[in-house]
Structure 1
């Protein structure tokens, strides 16, 4: 599988930039007004949720909210993505993020681990942090959906063998809905990717959203 060539350098640039103005958890200006009696989704992740390199209205959470509403679901998607976040950094802000919401979300979507992989962080550490995130959500009674990542080929087979199964294992452990690879069908198409070959263009985000949205709708209706 062709995947993320030269990403380590790109990851360092993203970490240095830390561009919260491009779709951080505080940037919902382009989203539609919240629906008082509707469902609330928390999109908790890194730059792939934050909307790095695109307008706020073109971020994955904003497009997901628009598509869900188009399909007749009264939903607000809160963008809590922060560019450059590792699983450790996200874990540190999880409680603050949850406590700052107007109410308990009906679904928490989690997309983390990509920056861990790009930094070469031991998958054991990534797994431990993601377990802690899922455990907190589970204890709060918040259903979980994971949008996973896969290791780049240059990380080696041993790394991939320890990294790639994390998301499936956690989905089974916490009865979470799983979309195995967030960039599936997009990362191998240069025309859908930004120049850094890490982040999708708006057209790529739209394709991802169209594939993920049915699973989100199903997750919202789970008993």
Structure 2
């Protein structure tokens, strides 16, 4: 003959049931993916020069990614006026332990100062070496020199980014301005998307930049998630 539970034992079991159900549900549910941690290492284009904070590159990129279901945190490592040398000088301490991926957008100020392409290449190489040493995936964003520096300078500078991307096996995007400039164009060809200085994109320009560059950032995130 089966023994029935006493009143007190039955009451204790009934009270425990909701907690048991919740625990079972938590164990059965798939683990939530952790937030992907990115660093955007760049100059004023990354920093958001001339724009209110939410219109800058990093906030707009974060919002674009979140709309597509990505749980991501992006550290704004943009410093206005920075060269590739400046990026190299701070990359090591900028790559804190939680950073899993880095977007590198540097070289524009090297061009404005007419620095030797060999110097820019060496600095970018050092940045990629630092990322490689720490196991950080990279999206390298390319840049093209204007024609007024001469064909030899332009050829040397333009080759830096695709060659380093191939050597270090990074994700590669040919141009930061791909979303607002025709191929081979200059900022003067898209004045409606530029600020008055003709160098930095306005809020609408940044939106277009993000739409064009976003898929490359998603590729970077996929690499990070596949490696986990």
Same fold (TM over 0.5): yes
Q: Distance in 2 between matches of 1:93 and 1:171?
A: 20
Greater than 6 Å deviation, 4+ residue runs = none
> Taking CA–CA contacts closer than 8 Å with sequence separation of 6 or more, which of the two structures ends up with the larger relative contact order?
1
Question: 1:195: how far off?
Answer: 1.0
SS in 1 for 2:144: coil
State whether residues 149 and 180 of structure 1, in contact with CA within 8 Å, keep that contact through their aligned partners in structure 2: yes
2:144 to 145, 150, 153: 150
State whether residues 104 and 142 of structure 1, in contact with CA within 8 Å, keep that contact through their aligned partners in structure 2: no
User: Which residue in 2 is equivalent to 1:193?
Assistant: 194
Report the count of equivalent residues.
186
User: Which residue in 2 is equivalent to 1:214?
Assistant: 215
Please list every run of 5 or more consecutive structure 1 residues that lacks an aligned counterpart in the other structure: 1-35
- Structure 1 or 2, whichever has the larger Rg, is 2
SS in 2 for 1:72: coil
Question: 1:80: how far off?
Answer: 0.4
- Aligned-residue RMSD, C-alpha: 1.5
State whether residues 49 and 81 of structure 1, in contact with CA within 8 Å, keep that contact through their aligned partners in structure 2: yes
Question: Which structure is higher in helix share?
Answer: 2
Q: Distance in 2 between matches of 1:180 and 1:193?
A: 19
State whether residues 45 and 112 of structure 1, in contact with CA within 8 Å, keep that contact through their aligned partners in structure 2: yes
Q: Distance in 2 between matches of 1:158 and 1:207?
A: 31
User: Which residue in 1 is equivalent to 2:162?
Assistant: 168
